Amino acid sequence: MQFTKMHGIGNDFIILDAVRQYVGDPKALAIRLCDRHFGIGADGLILALPSARADARMRIFNSDGSEPEMCGNGIRCLGKFLYDSGLCQKLPMTVETLAGVLTLEMAVEGGVARGVTVNMGKPRLSPGDIPVAASENAVTIDVEGRPLRFFCVSMGNPHAVTFDLFPDGEDLRRLGPLVERSPLFPQRANVEFCRLDGTGGAQVQVWERGVGPTLACGTGACAVLTAAACQGLLPRTAPIRLPGGTLTVRWDGDGCLYMTGPAETVFTGEIAE
C-alpha cells in the first residue's frame, strides 16, 4: 500500500490515495499505522476519496481509531497531496468532510502547493450545536479543585477554550483528559489552553480528542480566535501560535473563519497491507 507522510506545523498524518487503491477497515489501519513504535507513526490517518458533492472527500481517523468530523491541519495536507499528486489541480478546490464542504485556496510555486488557506466556515456557538450540556456555551469546569472558565465552540467538531490556565508537559497530559471527558461534553471535546502573547496573538497548548497532546490543531486555532474575539481579547485577525508553528486566522465579514498555514510532505513509501 502506497502512502505519503505529511505534516501541518508538526501535526502529522499518513495520507492514503483511496481513489487508486483499495483501503479496507480504516479504523484498524489507523491504529496500526499511526503507532510510533510499530507503525509509520502519526497523529492521524487521512483517506483521499472521490466525492459526488465536491472535488474530493476526506475521511480522517485519529491514532486511537476514532473518526473526527474535521481537521484543519489535515485538510491543508490533503489539499497539497491532491494538488501535488495530480489527483485534483482545481483552484480553488473543494473538499467534502463530515463538517461539510470546505473551499481551499493554494499558494503554488513551481507546480507545487506551498501554503493553503481554508475557508473553515462559520463557528457554531449554540450549546446544542457544539454540543455542550449547558444553557450557554461559556461554562466553568472544576479541574482538580480549580474552577476554570471555558468558551465552547464547534468548528464542525467540539472545542473548549480557556485563558485561565496554560499547562505544559505532564500537567497537560494530566489535565487534558479531565476536560475532554467532562460530562458537559457528550461527544468529548478538543481542549485549548491559551495565553495572550503580548503581540496581538495567542499561544496555545492543544489536547486533541482521541489523540492527546499535538503540536498543532487547525480547528483549534479557529476556535481560539473565535473565543478570544468574542471576549474582546483579540482582534478578528490574529496569529495563533502553537507548539509546532503559527497559523493565521481571520474571522471575515461574511462570518466565516479563514485559516492560513503551511503543509509539508515528509516522505513517501510502501507498507505491507
**Catalytic residue numbers?**
71, 217
Task: Take residue 122 and report the three cell numbers written for it.
Answer: 462559520
Q: What one-character DSSP code corresponds to residue 128?
A: T
Among 14, 68, 15, which Cα is nearest to 208's?
A: 68
Give the position of cell 466565516: 256
Strands 2-8 and 264-270: antiparallel
Among 116, 217, 233, 232, which Cα is nearest to 176's?
A: 217
Determine which helix (DSSP H) or strand (DSSP E) holds 118, and give its type and residue range: strand 112-119
69: Cβ–Cβ under 8 A, 6 or more apart, which residues? 97, 98, 99, 156, 157
Distance separating alpha carbons of residues 228 and 236, to the nearest angstrom: 9
Strands 245-251 and 257-262: antiparallel
Angle at alpha carbon of residue 269, lines to 95 and 14, rounded to 5°: 40
Q: What one-character DSSP code corresponds to residue 209?
A: T
